[in-house]
Amino acid sequence: MSRIFITRSIPDAGITRLRERHDVTVFEHDRQITKEELLAAVREVDGLVCLLSDPIDAGVIAAASRLRCISTYAVGYNNIDTDAAASRRIAVTNTPGVLTEATADIAFALMIACARRIVESDAWLRNGAFDGWAPKLFLGQDLVGKTLGIIGAGRIGRALAKKAKGGFDMRILYHNRTRSDAFETESGALYADLDTLLKESDFISIHVPLTPETRHMIDARALSLMKPSAVFVNTARGPVVDEAALIEALRERRIFAAGFDVYENEPRIPEELISLPNTVLLPHIGSASIETRDRMAVMAADNLIAVLDGREPSHRVV
């Protein structure tokens, strides 16, 4: 029986699956584990289930002398030093595909909430300001027939395009490192260079991984190309956006609104961003449906069990 450590409690579907076969310890506190706590916890474990917010760096990997698998409860794995893991022949696995629809739903929800000023008007009403219907009260933007620019043609971007085209008859532009025939066939999407997409889109949603090339992909220059009526949504990774530049654009009303589910220095969020009325801010809940989180937990567990059993996991990244 192998020893497994889980850095934070995940849905029971995954924990139960692991406990059927292995000795499992779950971090006892409902907060992010500290680096010191993590170093102490991994010293005698064979398997590790971590979150995207856990820094699994070379030091942590070196401290885990028996470690055979790092199973991340996420799609992204930029928090893991994969080179250090590979040098020790430690498998790294993730949970792709399972959260596609849930995250695309949140991206679309942010688009609607920003366009129709849902959160802003809700707060205004709750503060007792509503005294009846008015012709110009909280005027927003329509979605039907507008142009949606999708940056990143992966699973989530493609799922969002289907929702936008099928439900709102939106024109779809997309930008990706390479063209995607499947994306174009599914949704009638048109390929565009990044500048053209930014200039022509009424709504822009970004769905790229965090890499050195994508860090601050949306910067002051990119923002300057957007329409004053544009709505920008980020459900990808916080650092793909220059948050300071976006705050300035929102404050000066150079774009209409922005919706966030991820942040550049998460969980720290600038007070200035919180205070802006033309934003919708979510606490990283893109995949937070009961069904999706259960499937993620089972997938993370199955990946880890496979490695410890000497089998190839379904979703190995290293």
Q: In the beta sheet, which residues pair with residue 92?
A: 70
Q: How far apart are CA 217 and CA 20, in angstroms?
A: 44
Instruction: Write out the two tokens for 263.
Output: 């942040």
Active-site position among 22, 237, 293, 315:
237
* 3-state secondary structure at position 280: strand
Instruction: Write out the two tokens for 176.
Output: 């990706």
- Contact between 248 and 218 under an 8 Å Cβ cutoff? The reply is no
284 annotated active-site: yes
Q: Across the beta sheet with 3-6, what order do the strands follow? A: 23-26, 3-6, 47-50, 69-72, 91-93
- Looking from the CA of 133 toward its CB, the CA atoms found within 13 Å total 1
237 annotated active-site: yes
Q: What are phi and psi of 190, to 5 degrees?
A: -110, 135
Q: How far is CA 3 from the centre of its chain?
A: 30
Active-site position among 184, 186, 248, 266:
266
**Whole-angstrom distance between the N-terminal and C-terminal Cα of the chain?**
24
221 annotated active-site: no
Instruction: Write out the two tokens for 117.
Output: 């000023």
Active-site position among 3, 21, 254, 284:
284
Say which DSSP state 240 is in.
G
Which residues neighbour 224 within 8 Å (Cβ) at sequence distance 6 or greater? 249, 254
Task: Enumerate the active-site residues.
Answer: 237, 266, 284
